Amino acid sequence: LAISAVGRAAMAMVQEVRRQFREIPGIMEGTGRPEYEKCVAISTQAAIREMVLPGAIALLTPIAIGFLFGPEVLGGTLAGVT
């Protein structure tokens, strides 16, 4: 999950950088100023969006195991993953 999330975020960043090179004159010569805040926004949004599913799995798995299999299995699972 995390590896594919990084790939998607990186592709969005590459597309934004290409857009800036294409549309903002003078970036390659050092006279034009890139839009840094757009790149930061892409990184931030991607990090938040892509980590929702892994976070939900980390929170919901112990709850599901506890309800389905009981406290003994939950204790063993928690001891095994830490």
Interval 45-77: pLDDT, tens: 988 888 898 899 999 999 999 999 999 999 999
Q: What is the pLDDT of residue 38?
A: 95
Summarize pLDDT for 18-43 with one digit per residue, the tens: 999 999 999 999 899 999 999 999 99
**Residues with Cβ < 8 Å from 39, sequence gap 6 or more?**
13, 16, 17
31 and 5, same structural domain?
yes
41 and 64, same structural domain?
no
Counted domains in the chain: 2
58 vs 40: CA distance, rounded Å: 27
Domain that holds residue 80: 52-82
33 and 66, same structural domain?
no
HEC readout, 44-58? HHHHHHHCHHHHHHH
44 and 20, same structural domain?
yes
27 and 16, same structural domain?
yes
Residue length of the chain: 82
38 and 58, same structural domain?
no
pTM to 2 decimal places: 0.66
- Tell me how far apart the terminal alpha carbons of the chain are, to the nearest angstrom: 20
60 and 30, same structural domain?
no
What are residue 62's phi and psi, to 5 degrees? -65, -35
65 and 35, same structural domain?
no
Structure tokens at 49: 């969006």
